Amino acid sequence: MATATKERGALTHPDVHHLSDVNRDVLKILSRPGKGWWALFALACAGVGLFFGTWGYQLYRGLGVWGLNSPSGWGVDITTFVFWVGIAHSGTLISAILFLFRAPWRQSVYRLAEAMTVFAVMTAGLFPLIHLGRGWLGYWLFPYPNSRFLWPNFKSPLVWDVFAVTTYFTVSATFFFLGCIPDIAAARDQATGLRKKFYSLISLGWRGTDTQWHHFGKAYIFLAALATPLVLSVHSVVSWDFAMSIVPGWHATIFAPYFVAGAIFSGVAMVITLAVPMRKIFGLEAYLTIKHFDALAKLVMLTSLIVLYAYLSEFFMAWYSGEEIERSSFWNRLFGQYWWATWIMLVCNGMVPVLLWFKRVRHSISALFVISIFINIGMWFERWVIIVTSLTHEYEPWAWGVYRPSIFEMSLLAGSFAWFGFWFLLFTRLLPPVAIAELKEVLPPPLRRQRKEAH
Q: What residues make contact with another protein under the rule CB under 8 A?
A: 61-64, 66-74, 131-135, 137-138, 140-141, 150-153, 155-159, 162, 241, 244-247, 324-325, 328, 391, 394-404
- Among 121, 136, 130, residue whose Cα is nearest residue 77: 130
Extract long-range pairs of 99-102: CB within 8 Å, 24+ residues apart: 99/220, 99/221, 99/224, 100/221, 100/224, 100/225, 100/228
Please report which helix (H) or strand (E) contains residue 330, including its range. Answer: helix 324-335
For residues 342 and 271, what is the distance between their CA atoms, to the nearest angstrom?
Answer: 24
Q: Which amino acid is at 92?
A: T
Choice between 14 and 67, CB closer to another protein: 67
Min dist. Cβ of residue 246 to another protein (A)? 5
Min dist. Cβ of residue 316 to another protein (A)? 20
Min dist. Cβ of residue 55 to another protein (A)? 14
> Is there a contact between 407 and 66 (Cβ–Cβ < 8 Å)?
no
Min dist. Cβ of residue 138 to another protein (A)? 7
- HSE (CB half, 13 Å, CA atoms) of 436? 23
Choice between 100 and 158, CB closer to another protein: 158
DSSP-derived secondary structure letter, 403: -
Min dist. Cβ of residue 167 to another protein (A)? 16
For residues 352 and 96, what is the distance between their CA atoms, to the nearest angstrom?
Answer: 28
The C-alpha R_g of the chain, in whole angstroms, comes to 23
Choice between 23 and 58, CB closer to another protein: 58
For residues 195 and 313, what is the distance between their CA atoms, to the nearest angstrom?
Answer: 54
Min dist. Cβ of residue 248 to another protein (A)? 9
- Among 45, 44, 42, 66, residue whose Cα is nearest residue 55: 66
Min dist. Cβ of residue 436 to another protein (A)? 43
For residues 393 and 328, what is the distance between their CA atoms, to the nearest angstrom?
Answer: 8
Choice between 69 and 228, CB closer to another protein: 69
Min dist. Cβ of residue 65 to another protein (A)? 8
Helices (H), 282-398: 290-321, 324-335, 339-345, 359-362, 365-384, 390-391
Please give the biggest Cα pair distance in the chain.
84
Choice between 304 and 328, CB closer to another protein: 328
Choice between 158 and 204, CB closer to another protein: 158
Please report which helix (H) or strand (E) contains residue 154, including its range. Answer: none
Choice between 162 and 185, CB closer to another protein: 162
Choice between 63 and 290, CB closer to another protein: 63
